[in-house]
Amino acid sequence: MAAGFRIMRQRFSWTVSKNKMQRSAETAGPAASETLVKIRDLHFARGDRVIFDGVDLDIPRGRLTAIMGPSGTGKTTLLRLIGGQLTPDRGSIEVDGLPVQELGRKALYELRRRMGMLFQSGALLTDLNVFDNVAFPLREHTDLPEAMIRDLVLMKLQAVGLRGARDLQPSELSGGMARRVALARAIALDPMMIMYDEPFTGQDPISMGALVQLIRLLNDALGLTSIIVSHDVQETAAISDYVYVISQGKVIGQGTPEALGKTDSALVKQFMQGLPDGPVPFHYPARDYMEDLLNA
Amino acid sequence: MLDWIRGLGRGGFRFFETLGRANLFALKTLVGVPAVLVRPRLLVAQLYSVGVLSLPIIILSGVFVGMVLALQGYNTLVDFGAEESLGVVVALSIVRELGPVVTGLLFAGRAGSALTAEIGLMKATEQLAGMEMMAVDPIHRVIAPRFLAGFISMPLLAAIFSALGIYGGYFVGVGLLGVDEGAYWSQMQSKVDLYDDVYNGVIKSVVFGLVVTWIAVFEGYDTVPTSEGVSRSTTRTVVYSAFAVLGLDFVLTALMFGA
């Protein structure tokens, strides 16, 4: 495995230098900024349920940022807001200097071509095989000749270690393989950023390890900006540069994984260390136990 | 009582809200249709799964409906010594009514439910959201080809149903019951009018195709993305399509033959 990654690292080296050149050219421009995604005063509610209640976030360019929090805190919703699939009730979201919710359909689609998103289920198209799934965005958005599409697809599949699985149908893939194919598809158009929605959920240790390494490696080798939404604290903290912890609609903690490990906040500590009881109680709110039993 | 009125109001609002969404959806789909014509391969694949795969049930039903019509018609006509008119009875019943209506109902059950389930499952497994994030509009890529395929297939299937129904009637009437072959065809030729009967039947099948496919793709796209939601949407497609086909059949018949 490690040897494989070393070889990949070498293979990617030309891409890295290319990307570095691109980035230095970009940073020379006036619009360039170190922050790729800027979220200010984000409010969002579903019916009566408030999901975000004044969230400020900065996702730095070229880094791997994790957004963690207990289940049901709207982490996936946050990714959909960044991708423009949902509109916030209040506040602003900027991606690469563009205000997402104010973009017209054409500009939004233009922006989405530069974003990749990895869904929890992989979201592979079930009527296409692995090869055609990875080729899908290339065929939809470019007029490249079929021979070149083949080369590109095989390169992307090689990067995730599944070149040999190109003829399989999505139903024949394990969960971890499906996510790697989806990852190959997400990088098919060489995006500037990738958003991962719970990439480690339900993975066995081996595919978990492969994914963890792959996400970090792709981020560095391709010069991407990565956002990982997850509640797998150990795995995510191990590879991320910066962590935000969200709970009950607010950012309750942020910092490098090391700094968050030493936090004073009881809530953050409970989450990071996975303690069963604490500020988030073990018991669902109910009336007094004795009273409940006696009033049968 | 107050609750009942409140429930009625809420139901009414929900109905009109859904209707509004369905209309907006239809508009977006129509905008996407020209893009499908540029990529015929998408359309051909859907024509196969919506149209060609519906052929067996349409063929079988057409033949049997024609055979039953001939049996029933013969028993009534023979009392008046008018069994020579059997061809007209079979042809008019099928071309005007049963062809478009029964095909519409079968089409809703076979192709409509399959469309809803397929699109609903694509939504439930985040395939539609995934497409959106890849900057591919699912209405253009997934919905429009299916809509167009249904719209094209339904009148063709109805025509096949009608033709085979008439042959089914011929088989029973002429083959088994001994009606004169020449009378069967020549009476049909002289009494069935191309404009009044055949064209009106074709118009019906076009309308039914439009409505059934619209209901099917909308129910799939608008589904609650869970397994329960998809199963409910699939049921709704069949029920609403049946209502729409039968209701519209009455309206169209009244307009065409009423006055």
Percentage, residues of chain B above pLDDT 70: 100
Facing residue for A119 by CB, picked from B129, B136, B137: B129
Q: Would you call B130 and A85 a contact, using CB atoms and an 8 Å cutoff?
A: no
Residue B69 scores a pLDDT above 80? yes
For the residues A134-150, what does the mean pLDDT come to? 92
Whether B6 maps to a domain, the answer reads no
For the residues A147-158, what does the mean pLDDT come to? 93
Structural domain containing residue B84: 12-257
Q: Where on the phi/psi map is residue B89: left (φ > 0), alpha (ψ -120 to 50), or beta?
A: alpha
Three-class HEC string of chain A? CHHHHHHHHHHHHHHHHHHHHHHHHHHHCCCCCCEEEEEEEEEEEECCEEEEEEEEEEEECCCEEEEECCCCCCHHHHHHHHCCCCCCCEEEEEECCEEHHHCCHHHHHHHHCCEEEECCCCCCCCCCCHHHHHHHHHHHHCCCCHHHHHHHHHHHHHHCCCHHHCCCCHHHCCHHHHHHHHHHHHCCCCCCEEEEECCCCCCCHHHHHHHHHHHHHHHHHCCCEEEEEECCHHHHHHHCCEEEEEECCEEEEEECHHHHHCCCCHHHHHHHHCCCCCCCCCCCCCCCHHHHHHCC
Whether B76 maps to a domain, the answer reads yes
Chain segment B172-199, per-residue pLDDT in tens = 999 999 889 999 999 999 998 888 889 9
Whether B197 maps to a domain, the answer reads yes
Whether B7 maps to a domain, the answer reads no
- Residue in this structure with the two tokens 């809509």, named with its chain if needed: B147
Q: How many CB pairs under 8 A join A and B?
A: 54
Facing residue for B129 by CB, picked from A85, A115, A124: A85
Amino acid A230: pLDDT = 87
Chain segment B9-29, per-residue pLDDT in tens = 999 999 999 999 999 999 999
Q: How far is A275 from chain B (nearest CA, A)?
A: 32
CB A198 within 8 A of CB A189: no
Contacts of A185 in chain B (CB under 8 A): 134
Whether B199 maps to a domain, the answer reads yes
How sure is the predictor about A28, in pLDDT bands with cuts at 50, 70 and 90? very low
| Cα angle A146-A152-A153, degrees, rounded to a multiple of 5 | 85
- At residue A253, what are phi and psi to the nearest 5 degrees? -170, 150
Say how many domains are in chain B.
1
Percentage, residues of chain A above pLDDT 70: 89
Amino acid A30: pLDDT = 35
Q: Would you call B126 and A119 a contact, using CB atoms and an 8 Å cutoff?
A: yes
Whether B1 maps to a domain, the answer reads no
A37 HSE (CA, 13 A, CB side):
30
Whether B3 maps to a domain, the answer reads no
Residue A18 scores a pLDDT above 50? no
Concatenating the DSSP letter of every residue in B199-243 gives IHHHHHHHHHHHHHHHHHHHHHHTS-SSHHHHHHHHHHHHHHHHH
Mutate which of A109, A120, A134, A192 to disrupt the B interface (most B C-beta within 10 Å)? A109
For the residues A97-111, what does the mean pLDDT come to? 88
Length of chain B counted residue by residue: 259
CB A153 within 8 A of CB A134: yes
Tell me which of A238 and A10 has the higher pLDDT: A238
| Helix, strand, or coil (residue B134) | coil
- Least confident stretch, A98-112, A244-258, A263-277: A263-277
Task: Write the CA distances from A133 to A14, A128, B130, integer angstroms.
Answer: 26, 6, 11
Contacts of A100 in chain B (CB under 8 A): none
Amino acid A249: pLDDT = 84
How sure is the predictor about A174, in pLDDT bands with cuts at 50, 70 and 90? confident
- Measure the CA–CA gap between A290 and B1, rounded to whole angstroms: 40
CB B86 within 8 A of CB B169: yes
For the residues B47-69, what does the mean pLDDT come to? 95
Residue A149 scores a pLDDT above 50? yes
Amino acid A296: pLDDT = 66
Sign of CA dihedral A268, A270, A274, A277: negative
Contacts of A116 in chain B (CB under 8 A): 133
- Mean per-residue pLDDT of chain A: 83
Q: How far is A79 from chain B (nearest CA, A)?
A: 11
Give A99's strand partners. Answer: A94
Q: For the CA atoms of B28, B33, B38, B44, what is the dihedral angle to 10 degrees?
A: 130
Whether B19 maps to a domain, the answer reads yes
Give A169's strand partners. Answer: none
| Neighbour-count burial for B75-98, b at 16+ CB within 10 Å, e otherwise | eebeeeeebebbbbbbbbbbbbeb
Chain segment B192-244, per-residue pLDDT in tens = 888 888 999 999 999 999 999 999 999 999 999 999 999 999 999 999 999 99
0.90 exceeded by pTM: no
Amino acid A12: pLDDT = 47
Q: Which residue of B has its CA nearest to A83?
A: B133
